Structure 1
């Protein structure tokens, strides 16, 4: 079961300090909404009324009272509040709730009109889309005779959608079916949908008027009690559809609401404007002017005398938040600080609540509100904090100074080296290598006296697979060899200043030819040894280290020499100290001779 998200402690504290009155109001509105959800509508209305008496211009509270009135079925009062709110400022959400009130009153046609007005302001309003789809589906769906009778009987005790469906079904009984439409019902349905999008000239030239439309609607409901004729065809749906298709029924020229989601220029309300592929709302006329209270709430300014950088400090590093992230328990930390704590234990550093699910998801999303507040109101402090962070990151990105060292096993150039990382110090080290972009660290074996040996090999991170509990499987491959100059420690893991090793190049042609001949002989000897291994051993080597590298045409192409030498050194069953001595050599001839001696010894042992 997902962890329940709790209130952001830092943000809540800032709101209490900066905007105490607004926070008190917000709590009251939440209480009203909660009472409505629990169907305590009378208490919700009482609380909302008290707040409106103290601040008549508070539209948010008034909309909350609209929902409570609707729950009490006091539709007239709900509609009055809705109209009052919409008279000061048009909003898609406002039209949506007005339409819901009309819908609950049984005025489906009027609610459809207001739903469409809502979509004219915001065509992506999902709830309004769904309601329009349901209404049109009920109005336009064909129904059998038995279904019509059942709908008429239950229309008074069921949803407004079913009552509207009954009206359309009764309209079929009054209309004369057209032969062509009866023969082609599918064509008739297409024509009906087309007429919805493009109203006929006759419909558009009717005198617009809300009272006329309501009168026709009431007339239709009055006629709906007539008996059905036995021979109804789909063509008889026209009269019922006129209530939906005609422009006066959907909206008059004063309201200017059409299915094309464009508002008439005669109305001073909001207009949907498209610019450079994006949509925004444009206010016009008196209706576009919001109340002063609403405008003040929309543009709050933090009082300068209440700004204190200490309120925005990370409790772990005692510095200004940098990339603040918030845990499900509501506590906020710098992203890096929290990750370091989770390396040790999957608990919140402050309240000790389990963060196992949070750690497994690995979605450390920056709390954008806090980040924007810091950048806007504490810009100088934030710039200094960012500068410090960049300096620390730059220091970690140096691949010759303070290079992170993983003390574990032998590593060789070009040879894969998969790692299972579970220690907190190495989790931190791997994460830093990824964040700085170097994706590299040194690998050395242990030394009881110095901590780690004098020679090692850089490993290049190819991929990191994080496990749900914070451990990771790191796929690496060997890079350059190095010699340790100085040793140190940083945040629990070893670091070192290093110098990279390169093979001494052979320039004499005769000497190079002899070196090539030695290389070819060792390569053939190694291939013979590998082919003669038992299948079990050979398969294990192939699975862990891959196939033996191909013979290279230029044995001095890279500073580390041929890849086959390092592959052989990795798979040969010899002591790590002996492998280390070969790794430290800077002449290819010496390395080949050492490997040749090892192969000769292994081939001299009987293969049991």
Structure 2
């Protein structure tokens, strides 16, 4: 691909797909967007050289956000993974998770595989340690790949799960104590109390040399005190002990960045992303670094390059550089104001050893419009690119680790690590056995819902950290928008309606209390089956007249009807009865079953329920359940006309009344017709077989619903089981309305 060219103030990018982008120099905003789109396309196709070219030009048009280079970072990472995996898979695959807890341990955090301390339940229902959630290490859940996010409806988005926290502290007091100390150390570091954090972390390591998090905390404290070499020493030991733990590499990359070793920091951060591509913080840092690398006006980098170029020793020139006629520049300058420096050579210092040199990336074009910019673009276009096998790319052959250049190189053997010249005992990295809850400490009373006082069934944790049965919580939120225990505001949580089951707690109940859970499950099934009977104890909505096949939208806001509708949905029937009110009996003797088609919820818990009429019924017995009416019912069907002569007369009457109905509707004022059509839809077509359904022709019910008639009169028509009588009644109504219109 040919890169940008200038010609009298107009620029274009010839496209290998057969078209070109062209613009005037003045219109820079739209042009930057076009260039970014094209650059993203090249990066998605793994064409790094072209993508680099265009990203550099896009930045020259104006400031950008580092996250806009996300596709470029993904492209670099894909190529890095190819080289990284071939070199390190053999040494780390057999040791995966050996540096951490056994991932099969149910009491381990799914993010860091450490003990599940200060458990926090996220929106998807999975539980992580508070440390992982608080640091926002991952954007997606490791178990279900859903967005982690923060819990809605609470001023404290990282509140611990009260039930689980109490259980873990009861079952594993030693691990809980250590976890609290680690959280205390990290809190000290966040507040800038590095000396206190260093003292606590050092004491922890002395008492337990194998505590990995203690070393990370100490490294952070060292970095806060600008003792970078000591911090790197701790992290180097962790890289050997924990070769597959991304956080170790992230912390190391951050410290290298503070030391001014940006290129080495980038490599280590890429190594972190190669282990976990969803490590959010590492990706953000890589985006910032790459943004600086491709920025054409990064004067600090340019000056540093010149200084390093003057003091660097001669190096072999690559073919790409010889063709360009330019001497190779060093990778990145070191910051001169740091107390400690990173003097080890970078594994990427030779273009012949790697598919990409960051020095080449730094020679991005300057501002458009001059020969210098065009020359810079030519130099970029001549750089070798990753992912192009036909260009003879040589994969990375050296382990991208700072430990390569340190004198304390290690010898790897089996699943133990030993420093050269160290006569002490090797570090045993054999994973600890899976934890099990002490049998004598498992009590069913610890798993009781505070609302129903029964064993949790489908436990749900609110943003404030309290847990309830899902059905219990939903019933409670029907009446108020506060947590039943702490009165915390749950309006936002109610609005999302994301009542995800707390998987960890549900798993503990099934594992340690199988018999009580089975009994609770049977009880729930029996209750659900009772709700699913369409003739016994059918829920009744006392509101308005409803008819078969006719839409009946409802606004549900009363707590009792919220519960009723929810039970209809959970039982799977999605049906309930609709009757009009009766002063003596509570509701009428006849009604229509409605079928739920869809529901739309409002943030405050109200809902609009779209229903349509299904079957008519007669009430046999009445009752109450949890505040709403129920009834035993019997469905109604039209009596069919068997004789041929009777069927002919019935059809004649049907056609006559249908014509009268059409004429009445057409004679209505246009605004009335519009309102009817908007609410009930168009009038159904005349049916060929008028006795095909138990309820008769659909147009009769549509007409009955729109006629301006007293509901009691409509109810009498609804209860009729003879189509002839129903047609006669409708005919009388139409004749009466016509006479009024003539007057």
Deviations 1:354-411 (A, max 9, x none): 2111111111121122112112222222222112111111111111111111111111
* Higher mean C-alpha deviation, range 171-180 or range 78-87: 171-180
SS in 2 for 1:13: helix
Q: Matched residue pairs, number?
A: 528
Structure 2 regions of 5+ residues with no counterpart?
1-151, 327-346, 360-371, 387-393, 403-409, 419-424
For residue 516 of structure 1, report the CA deviation from its aligned partner. Answer: 0.2
- CA gap of 1:311–1:290, structure 2 versus 1, over 3 A, is farther
Aligned residue in 2 for 1:60: 213
* Higher mean C-alpha deviation, range 128-137 or range 537-546: 128-137
Contact 1:256 1:267 in 2 (8 A): no
For residue 87 of structure 1, report the CA deviation from its aligned partner. Answer: 3.4
Aligned residue in 2 for 1:480: 615
Partner Cα separation in structure 1 for residue 169 and residue 727 of structure 2: 74
Aligned residue in 2 for 1:319: 454
Partner Cα separation in structure 1 for residue 476 and residue 631 of structure 2: 25
- CA gap of 1:380–1:30, structure 2 versus 1, over 3 A, is same
Which residue, out of 144, 151, 167, partners 2:308? 167
Aligned residue in 2 for 1:207: none
TM-score (norm 1): 0.78
For residue 96 of structure 1, report the CA deviation from its aligned partner. Answer: 2.7
Contact 2:153 2:493 in 1 (8 A): no
- CA gap of 1:169–1:390, structure 2 versus 1, over 3 A, is farther
Aligned residue in 2 for 1:469: 604
Contact 1:483 1:498 in 2 (8 A): yes
Aligned residue in 1 for 2:185: 32
Between Structure 1 and Structure 2, the one with more helix by share is 1
Partner Cα separation in structure 2 for residue 78 and residue 597 of structure 1: 94
1:497 aligns to 2:632 (yes or no): yes
Deviations 1:78-136 (A, max 9, x none): 12222333333322322332233333333445444544544454455454455455556
For residue 7 of structure 1, report the CA deviation from its aligned partner. Answer: 2.0
Which residue, out of 235, 251, 256, partners 1:97? 251
- CA gap of 1:102–1:487, structure 2 versus 1, over 3 A, is same
Contact 2:549 2:701 in 1 (8 A): yes
Contact 2:153 2:490 in 1 (8 A): no
Aligned residue in 1 for 2:94: none
SS in 1 for 2:631: strand
1:570 aligns to 2:705 (yes or no): yes
Aligned residue in 1 for 2:145: none
Partner Cα separation in structure 2 for residue 122 and residue 15 of structure 1: 28
Partner Cα separation in structure 2 for residue 233 and residue 543 of structure 1: 67
User: What is the correspondence of 1:171-320 to structure 2 with a 5 Å cutoff?
Assistant: 181=324, 203=353, 255=399, 285-287=415-417, 295-296=431-432, 299-320=434-455
RMSD, matched Cα? 3.8
SS in 1 for 2:600: strand
Partner Cα separation in structure 2 for residue 541 and residue 106 of structure 1: 74
SS in 2 for 1:605: helix
1:531 aligns to 2:666 (yes or no): yes
1:601 aligns to 2:601 (yes or no): no
For residue 442 of structure 1, report the CA deviation from its aligned partner. Answer: 0.5
Deviations 1:194-216 (A, max 9, x none): xx99987x649xxxxxxxxxxxx
Contact 1:320 1:385 in 2 (8 A): yes
Partner Cα separation in structure 1 for residue 258 and residue 689 of structure 2: 85
Which residue, out of 478, 494, 497, partners 1:359? 494
Contact 2:416 2:428 in 1 (8 A): no
Partner Cα separation in structure 2 for residue 49 and residue 603 of structure 1: 96
SS in 2 for 1:77: helix
Partner Cα separation in structure 2 for residue 168 and residue 489 of structure 1: 88
1:510 aligns to 2:645 (yes or no): yes
Aligned residue in 2 for 1:426: 561
Aligned residue in 2 for 1:389: 524
Contact 2:532 2:573 in 1 (8 A): yes
TM-score (norm 2): 0.65
Contact 1:172 1:237 in 2 (8 A): no
Contact 2:416 2:427 in 1 (8 A): no
Deviations 1:152-182 (A, max 9, x none): 4xxxxxxxxxx56863698799999978536
Partner Cα separation in structure 2 for residue 501 and residue 557 of structure 1: 15
SS in 2 for 1:84: helix
SS in 1 for 2:661: helix
Aligned residue in 2 for 1:78: 231
Which residue, out of 569, 578, 587, partners 1:443? 578
Contact 1:89 1:287 in 2 (8 A): no
Deviations 1:549-584 (A, max 9, x none): 211111111110011111121112222111111111
Partner Cα separation in structure 1 for residue 430 and residue 255 of structure 2: 23
SS in 2 for 1:476: strand
Aligned residue in 1 for 2:20: none
Partner Cα separation in structure 1 for residue 677 and residue 375 of structure 2: 77
Contact 2:591 2:617 in 1 (8 A): yes
Which residue, out of 29, 39, 44, partners 2:197? 44
Aligned residue in 1 for 2:98: none
Structure 1 regions of 5+ residues with no counterpart?
153-162, 184-195, 205-216, 218-229, 259-265, 270-283
- CA gap of 1:235–1:541, structure 2 versus 1, over 3 A, is closer
- CA gap of 1:141–1:397, structure 2 versus 1, over 3 A, is same
* Higher mean C-alpha deviation, range 348-357 or range 391-400: 348-357
Partner Cα separation in structure 1 for residue 259 and residue 266 of structure 2: 13
Aligned residue in 1 for 2:467: 332
Aligned residue in 1 for 2:476: 341
For residue 486 of structure 1, report the CA deviation from its aligned partner. Answer: 1.3
For residue 543 of structure 1, report the CA deviation from its aligned partner. Answer: 2.1
User: What is the correspondence of 1:77-156 to structure 2 with a 5 Å cutoff?
Assistant: 77-90=230-243, 91-132=245-286, 135=289, 147=299, 152=303
Partner Cα separation in structure 2 for residue 521 and residue 370 of structure 1: 67
Partner Cα separation in structure 2 for residue 10 and residue 559 of structure 1: 54
Structure number with bigger Rg: 1
* Higher mean C-alpha deviation, range 507-516 or range 22-31: 22-31
- CA gap of 1:290–1:400, structure 2 versus 1, over 3 A, is farther
Which residue, out of 583, 586, 590, partners 2:721? 586
Contact 1:459 1:477 in 2 (8 A): yes
